[in-house]
Structure formats: C-alpha cells, structure tokens
Structure 1
Amino acid sequence: MIYENKHVMKILSLILCCTVIGSGTAAIAYATGVKKTEEKTGQETTAVTSAKQETTGAVSKDETVYVIADADGSAKRIIVSDWIKNAPGSASIRDKTEMEDVTNVKGDESYTMNGDHMRVWDANGNDIYYQGDIEKELPVTIAIRYQLDGKPISAEELAGKSGRVTIRFEYINTQYEMVEIDGQQEKIYVPFVMLTGMILDNENFRDIQVSNGKLINDGDRTIVAGIAMPGLSDNLKLDGDVLELPDSIEIEADVTDFQLTATVTIATNELFNKLEWDGAGDLEDMSASLEKLHDAMGQLMDGSSALYDGIATLLDKSGELIDGIDQLSAGAKQLSEGAGNVDGGVAQLQAGAAQLTDGLGALTANNETLNSGAKEVFESMLSMADSQLAAAGLTVDKLTIENYATVLQGVLASLDETAVYTLAYNTAHSKVEPAVRAQEPNIRAKVIAAVQGQVLDGVLASLNPPLTSDQYEAAVEAGQIPTEIQGQVREAVEAQMQAESTQTKIQQTVEAQIQALIEQNMRSSDVTAQIQAAVESAKSGASSLSALKTQLDSYNQFYRGLLTYTAGVADARAGADAIKAGTDALKNGTASLKSGADTLCAGLNSLQAGSGALVEGVQQLQDGAMQLSDGLQEFNEQGIQKLYEAVNEDLGGLLTRFRATCDVSKEYKSFAGIRDDMDGQVKFIYRTEEISK
C-alpha cells in the first residue's frame, strides 16, 4: 500500500506540473478494453457501417460548449458546437444529441431520424460540423463574487468605484458518478481543470495579486491566469497539508475607476484522460458504469409507466382534446401575430451576436502580439543568461527555450565542490611543476657534487692507511701523496661516477628533491589560497546559476500558460463567428415563421376534420405504451438488475480513488449527448460580460 500511495503522489505531482506548464490538452484514447454492445436497428446498413468502422477506424466526436454568462458567472445562453470526425470515411453516421435544433454549419449534408431516435447523417465520407443551443445544467458552474475594501458588492455597483477590490471565482462541480470505495458508495466528480484568464489595464489596476495563478505584465496591461480543479480533493480525500488542490481563485488589486472586460474560462477533463492504468481499472469502471445504468434504468421504467398512464388519460379525455383543438386554432392566430414580435427580438439578438464577434475579434487580434512578446521576453532573458555565463568564463551551447534546462543542469553538475577542487588543484600543480623543473640543472649539480663526495670518501677509505677527504686534500697540498696515487684515486672516482647504479641514484635523488620541492610549493599559503578561492567562487557561481535556472523555469510556466490561453481565445472567436452566422440565419428564418403560423392554422382545421382518426391512433399508442412498459420491466429484471447485483468489488485506498477519478473522466465524453459506442472529448469555454459604467 505504501508503494501505491507513493506512485499516486508521483502521478499527481506530474499532473499538476503539466497543468501549470500547459503544454497542450489533446485527449488520448481510452485503451483499457471498452466493451461495445451491438444495437439492433432493423436496418442492414447500420451493421455494415459498424463493421467498416471497426476495421478502418472509429467515428469520434469533438465537442466545444460556449457559455455566455453574466458578470456573476450565471449562464445566460449555452451554445454547443460538435465536430463528428469521420475517420473511416463512412457513407452514413448515426449520431445522438440532446439538441433540438441542429444546424449544419460547414456543409450541405442532411440527416434523417431512424427507429432508435438517432440522427442518421448522409455523410458521404465527410466530417460533420453542426451546432445549436441547449438548455441543460452545466457540469461546472461558476460563482463570481466581488468585494470593495473588504465588503461584498455587486458587479453593477462596483463599476466606476475605487479601492481595494477582490474578485473571487468559485467553481462548483456537479458532474459526478457514484463509485464504490471501501464498501461505500461515494461521489467521484469528473476532474475538470479550470483555467480562467482576464486582462487588466495597468492604469486602473495596481498591486495585482492572484491565488493559484500567474501574472504577466507587458507594461500597459496585466494578464491574469488562474487554475483550479474543483471536486478533485473530494475524490482523493487527501490531507490539505499533503497536497492542496484548489477549487477557486482570487484576484486582488488596488483599483481606480473599476471596469473589467470579459473574462474567459476554459474547462476540460482531457488531462486525466491521458493517464493509463494497464487495464487495472476495469472493475472500477464497470462498477461506476453499472451504478449509473441501474439508476438510469429505474428512471426509464418510471418514465414508461408515466407514459402509459398519460396516454390512458389522453384517451379518456379525447373529447376534451377535440375541444382543445378548437382552442389551438384560435391560438394559432395569436401565434401568427406574435411572429412579428419574434422577428424584432431576433434582430436584437443578431446585433448582440455581432458585438460578441467584434469583442472576441479584438481580443484575438492581440494573440500574436502577446505570444510574440512573451517569446521575445523569454529569448531576451536567455540572451542575458548567455552573457552572464560568458562573463563567468563558462563556455556552453547557446541557450534556447528548448535546451536551456538541460544545458544549465549540466553546468551545475560541473560546479560540484569536489570537481572544482580537483580542477583547481590540478591547475595549480600544472603551473608549479614547470617552475620547479626549471631549477633542475642547479639541483642536479648539487646532487652530483654530493654523490661525488660520497664516492671519494669510499675510495679514500680503501687506501692504506685510510684517509678522509679533508686528510687527503691536506696531504696532496703537502706533497705527501704521489702523483700516481692521485691518478688512481681520480680514475676510481670517475669509474664509480659513470657506473649505472651511481647514475640511477643521481637521477632518483634529483627527482625526489624536485617532487619534494613541488609538494612544498603546493602547500604554500599562496597556492592553497588560490585553490580555496576557486572553490568559493564555484560555490557562488553555482548558487547564482541555480537562481538563474529557477527564474527561467518560472517564466517558462508563464509562457506555456499564455500559449494555452491565446489558443483558447482563438477557439472562442471561432465559436462566436459560428454564433453570428447562426443568428443571421435565424433572422432570415423569422420571415418564414409567420407563413408557418398561417399554415398551422390551416393544418389545425384539417385536424378538426380528422379528430376521429386521432382517437383511433391514441388507442393504438396506448397499446404500444403497454408493450413498452412490459418489455422494459422484463429487460430490467432479466438483464440490468442481474448484472448490477453480480458486480460487488471492494476497492479501497488512494490508488483506487485515483483510478476511479480517471475512469469517470474518460467516461465523460460529451455534454450534449453521444452514442455509447462512440469516442469523444468535450471542453467548455465560459465568457462573462464586461463590467463598465
């Protein structure tokens, strides 16, 4: 268990680092054995299409949800943009979505509804791009609260005010699955990573601080980027002293004449989708999925019973229904009159969409400037670092954004105290030794004289009578030593001096005196002081270099986060363009609404004439609803309930919680809806309205 906890903590740390650096959020396919269930549609073309997808690649969905929100974070409108990626080039694609009004935004492909209540797109091998509005609770809601000088205040009241302002973004994660942990059912939230950004004018905002985020100042404006992971602490049950996982961010600043442009928040669970567990999470995935299936099945059965009861009531009230048709006819006339009012409202919506597009366009126009400016600052810092290294006498490769960490780490390794001492000692030795060896002729002359004296003493000791060198020299001066004896003495001395053993002794003595003199010089105060100075200089240089690397690492985090932010702004602009195109199309369609209302009136007149047939159809519908309810009851008892009761696995510990978190994340592939056998990914982009006087 200790090993597993350390393993999870290591992965958590890696996730947080990757999140802050922000190097891309591309989803990785979940490859732990997803089981696919074939659905009978009664159409042979569906089976053929499914087989083609299994052999040539899978159809997947990439979904972007745009949330237009008030300044307090409450959503006003939700727009969904879906991209169905037709990797196998299928002729037709079955698609599931909760959106009612679906508009193809990038082609002329059309669709029909099949027996499974799915749209079947006539793709002809193409990708499908469509979008539409949806009314549905968001998985993560944002509550934005404002304070002025420590007191709560609304966004409207804050506009134009001055003082110490606090803006708090609280993220409430409501998207969870019930997972069995240590024998108990617990909520495991989809692990969304929230990245919120805003741009503050430095003329209005000073002394800016942000919790759980970074600040980038270009002189005129400050970019604020904050990150949070709501629900992840609840999932992992970690002690805050061990690892703090924020679920909010807070910005503080001294403000003059408060006003705030739109803020943008990106929410994605793709980060946790990248983690693989080598198939170890199959049981957890099955448990969570079956729990959800069990609950959904109960709701479906309740719904089928309610459907039958409702149809029975409808049949009993068919007489009243016919009377109601008359009222509908009168209402259709009012609908026609209201169509004109709708057209005026759509015109206002169209103008608002144009303003949204223009605003995001202005924001996107700064992307390249921000990115290039941040890169220029980064490269300027690296250039300064190159100059500092050169001034310190260090020769290294030119620093770049990609290689600076590796290069500086290598230099730090070379500044190890032991290595520097060895280098300094060897350098001093290389200077001392030549100086000493330059004195070798003098040393050798003295050694030869000393050895020659020793040889002479040995020769004189062999005379009869034996003499010392002093006695011999005195006797020679006194003329007491014959010339013949003197010559013999000289010859004997020269012979021994030329002997190989004597020459070897001379050479060894000379070398020993040289080494002793070298060692004496190396122990001198000057040399030892030079060596120590080099070591101390290396310590100081290593400290400065480490601080330089830390500074560059910190800016690198800013730089990577900025690239992610500007990419998100660009995506938001694309979505806004799509919204504007949709409102333009809607405006063109309002003229048709009046005509449709007139047609409705005529149709209701025909409905009055066919009310008898309507009653007969309701009777048939009642019979079908009874069969549906009975069939669902049998399917639940014989299939879902047995499968649900069969899976009861006890999964405990932090590793289990983390696996469960990853599995729940991978299961959340769409907001608006997706086929069970289709892979997908989804991200959310929240944009709040600006605050101004």
Structure 2
Amino acid sequence: MKSYLKKAMCLLLSAAVLASASVPAFADSSEVTKDENVYILLHSDGSVKSQTVSDWLHCDSGLAGVTDPTTLSDVVNLKSDEAPAVENGALMWNTEDTDVYYQGKTEQTPPVTVSIRYELDGKEMPAEEMLGQAGHVKITLSLVNHEKHPQEIGGTVRNVFTPFITMVAADLPREHFWNVNIPHGSVQTDSQNQMACAVALPGMQETFDGLLTGKMSSLKDYFLDEIVVEADTDSFVMPSILLAAATSMEELEKQVDFPDLDGTLRELKSGTAQLDDGARQLAEATETLRGKMNEFAAQYNTFDAGVDAAYAGSKEVKGGAQQLSEGAQNLTTGLAALKNGAAQLDAGTNALKSQLDQSLLPGLTAAGALQQKLNEEMQNAQQALNGVPETSDLQAAVGAVTQALNGAAADAGAAAQNAVTGAASNAAGSVKEQCKAAVQAAMDADGTLTPEQQTAILAALDSVGYDASQDAAAANGAVQQAVGAQAQTVQQVLAPLAGLDTTALKGSFGTVSTDAATLLTMMNEMTGKLYNEQDNSATLYGGAVQLKEGADQLLGGMEQIGAGADALAAGAAKLDGGAASLQSGLEQLSSSSKVVKDAIAQFQSGSSQLAGGASTLQSGMSEFRSKTDSAAGQLDAAQLDQISQIAQALEEQANAYTSYTGAAENVRASVKFVMKVEGPEQTGTQQEQSSGQSVQDTTFWDRVKNLFQ
C-alpha cells in the first residue's frame, strides 16, 4: 500500500506540477496533443472556491489552423501575447509555434468533489473555531464521484463510475501535531512536516456492490470513498490539504487485477490443488528423507568409528613400522657381524679340515701301527708266559737244583754253577722284562689298580729277575770262590725263585691281557669314529668335511641374506614413512569425519525439522485449498461474468474521459485534477499561536500550494 501511495503521488502530483516543463515525444509529427491540468481551490469545508485550467497544446508541424474546443472563459496565453480567435466555442491558434500554453476559468462541477468535516475531541465544529485549540483532531474527507454511467451488467442496469484514482495528502507541521494516523494510508515525515497520504477510488464500492464477497471482499480496502486523518495538537492550525485525481486504468489494473477474474480464479484453484498435491508429496519425501538420514547417520557413525579404529591402528602400524625399521637396521648390523663370524667359521672349518688331513690321518695311521705292535707284543708275552712253569714245578726244580748243587763235585760245581747261573739269568731277565712291559701296559689300560697295587706288582717283578751283568758277575765270583760257598750262593740264587708265585703272575697277566683286548677294541671303535676309509658319513673327519661344506654354504647364504637384509631395511624405512603418511592422513580423515558427523547431525536435525515443516505445510495447504475452493465457490460464474463486464466498462470509461473542458476528436488528450483546501483566515491571536509557519523555508510542497495563488 505504501509503494502504491508513493507511486500515485509521484504520477499525479509530479505530472500536475511539472507538466509545463515536459515535452513528450510523439510518433506522428502532425498529431496534436492536449495536456490539461485543473487546479481547484477549495474552502475549508471542501466546497469549490475557484477553478483554474492550464492547457498545453503541442504539434510537431506547428499549430496553425488547429481548432481547440473549450468551455473556458478568460483565456490567457501564458507564453506570448498572441490571442486565439474564438469561433463556435472553439479556440483557433494561428501560429507556427509547436507549443501553446494557456489557462482560463470554469465553473463546471469537477468529476470528483470532496466535503470535509472537522472534529475536536469528538465534537464536530467548523475549522475556524478549532484554530488555536488543543485536543484530539479528526478530519474526515468524503469523496463523491460524479461520473456515473448506467450500464447493463448481467442483464440488469448498474451504475458504473468512471474510475478516478484520487490521492489525498495532508501536511501537519510537527510543531503543532503528533500521533498522526491515517487508516489505509501512510505517514511520511521530515524535520518539519508530517505528510499523511492515502489513495481512494470513489464510486467503486457502488460499482461493485454485492459482487465482492468472500475473499474478494478485501478489494474493498482499495475502493475508499472516505479518508480520515487523526492527530493530537496543542494548538490547532489549519493543515495544508491537497487532493489529486486522474483516470488511469493501467494503474488500476496493477492494484486490483480486474481482467479475467474468472480465468484467474480457475488458475488459482488449479494451482492450489497442484500445490496441495506437491505439499503432500513433499511431506512424504521429507519423511522418507528423515528415515534415510537416520539410517545414513547410523551407518556413518559406524564408518566414523571405523575411521577412529583405523587411526588408532595406524598409530600401532606406525609404531610397528618404526620398530621394524629399527629391527631391520639392527638385523643389518647383526648380519654384518654374523657374516664376519661365518667367514671366520669358514676359515676355521678349512683350517680344521687341513689340520685333520695333516695330523689326524697320520696319527690314526701311527695308532693303527701301535695297535698292531701292541697286539703282537701281547701275543709274544702270552707265549713267553706260557713257557713259565707253574709254581709247584718251579719249587720242585729249585729243590732238585739244590740237591744237585749240594751233591756235585767241587770241580764240576763251578762249571755247572756257571751254566745254571747263566741260564737262570737269561731266562729270568727275559721274562722279567717282557712281563713288566705287559703288566705295565695292562695296568695303564685297565685303570682299576691303585698306585700301591701297581707298585707292589712291579716290586715283585723286580725281585724276580736279575740284571744279566750282575748275575754273570755273581756267578763268576761264586765259581771263583771256594766251593764251600757254592751252597750259599746257590741258596741265594734259588731262594727268590722258590718264593715266586707264577700262578698269580699268570692270573694278573690274564687280567692285563683282557684289559688290553678291551683297550684295543675301544681304540678300534674310537678310530672308527674318527675316520673310516670306507664311509666317513658318521665319523669326526666326515663331520669336519660336512662342517666345512656347511660353512661354505652359510657364507654364501649370508651374502644373499645380507642383500635381503639391506632390501628389508630399505623397505622398512619406506614402510615407516608410509605408515607416518597413513597416520597423518587418517588423522586428517578422522578430524574431517568428525566435522562431517556434526554436519550430518545438523542435517539430520534439519531433515526432521523439514519433515515437520512439510507436514505443517501440507496441513496448511489442505486448509488453504479448502478455503480457496470455498472462496471460488462463493463467486459463481454469474458473479465472475459481471465483474469481468464491469472491468471492461471501467476501462472504456477511463479511456473516454480525456478532457475536462473539451478536446477535438483527433486530438490525443489527457487531464489531471489538483485540489487545494484553503484554510480559514486566522485572527491576530491565532496568527501569533501559529507564527512558526510563516518563517518556514520554501519547500516543494509550498511550491505546489503556490500554484493556486
């Protein structure tokens, strides 16, 4: 409504005030146009005091011979001294000028008149009696449209009034008025003035009487016949009141949209039904959206939890990758040391093999020879021992020898003694040495005899035999001694033999022989474990060979393992870097996921609100559709047809009303009315009370008012 007021005020007042300064462009240079502005001065009660009409004729080819019908009197040319000729109620302008401006007087009744009523605190009184008084002011302007034309509408005659858009403006100085109010209008203020404006269409209520029902009744707000201005004052002064009116169906159509109401309502009803269906579909879709959003939110929560788990896992992967990288470095270092050890092991096995070849095999050969010799010596000792008589035989022999010695002759004694002594010495020495060697070897191999036992056995052996040289010397000495000493000498020689226990000696030798056999067997087994010329797979020598071969393979494998360890270290370093990137990326993903999760929660909440709003919209649209159908139903086809006929009649009448004082048929004319209410004359006291107005600066509004002076 405010924009319409401003538009109407601009169209009507500005056109009226600035008409003389505007030069429109026309397509036809021979076309004559007439722009008419009617200035009406009103008394404070709205009655007409005077009317001045200002006309502007224009023709691009000049106005010579142009006939201008008019009802004006006292016509005056405003721009030159040339006066028109008057013929049969028409003005003849014999001029080559393209523009003529003139004005005159008329006493015709304007198409729109106004009566003004004043009230102070609810009491009606003339304006002059209110001057200087305080209280609540109410000014009522009642408009009357005199352009009434009976028209047959819907089979009956109806008064159709030519539409005059009428703007009312009242200037109430801020110095004297406050709480200014104008229903169905607008109040514009500046530092000094308060302009109360409203637009009316007088006569339209009667024109559409009985047709504007239901929702169409709101159009009555535009069809005003009465404008009311209210305010409070501490000293009433007469407001400056202006009215402007003109016919403009174009502006009227923009505001009330008369044409094709029937079709418009049908479209409205159809569109409302479609909108209602769309609202229902929207409600269903938003409900589905809300459900899907809940499912999506639940699934995204699972995804977000998975991202968090992956992020946590990436930390473990990062830690593991770092440990792996460090371990790979340590492995590389350890493998380098192991490689050195393998090289040393290979060198050691080579040395061991060489040492075995150089020492073990010759030693085994020597041991074999020694075993053979020992075996032979044992056999020899056994043969020698087999030749030793038994103890009883030896004792008997000793006795026989003793008896023989005792009975021998002195001269044969010495020779016999020498023979016996030599034989005994040789036999005893040989047996002694052989037995001592065998017994000693047996004792060493057996290892079960104590040192005391070994000493006793050797002592016994030492006491049995004689050194050959000593026996020879003793025998030689004994032969050379007196025969008398022969018995003693023989006794001394044979006494140890008599005490010799050959049975024990043979038993000890048997034990030694058994132990020696066991020793030989063990040596055979031992040498067999050390070296076997036929099969070394299970011998020390074979193991050394295998160890050497394994060391060679280990060294070669260590070369490959070292290369693999280097590659592993490089891969572990890359894995460590990739794990760091993975952790960083998952950290960003986790952070972003939280933002998305929050956004989903907001969107989920919004979808719920949207679903609720869609449901509310659906309910509201259903109600609106019901009311729209009801409103459309209230306007039946007959009503719509009558409204359309009236709208057409209004347009025709508005286009026909082009001049107030007359215009030729071939002239394109237009007319506007501007009315100013002249206030009552003030007394001296009243003038003093309102003296503030006399010193105000000249404003646009003042210039408009000066048009009437």
Do the structures match in fold with TM over 0.5? no
Task: Decide which structure has greater helix share.
Answer: 2
TM-score by length of 2: 0.43
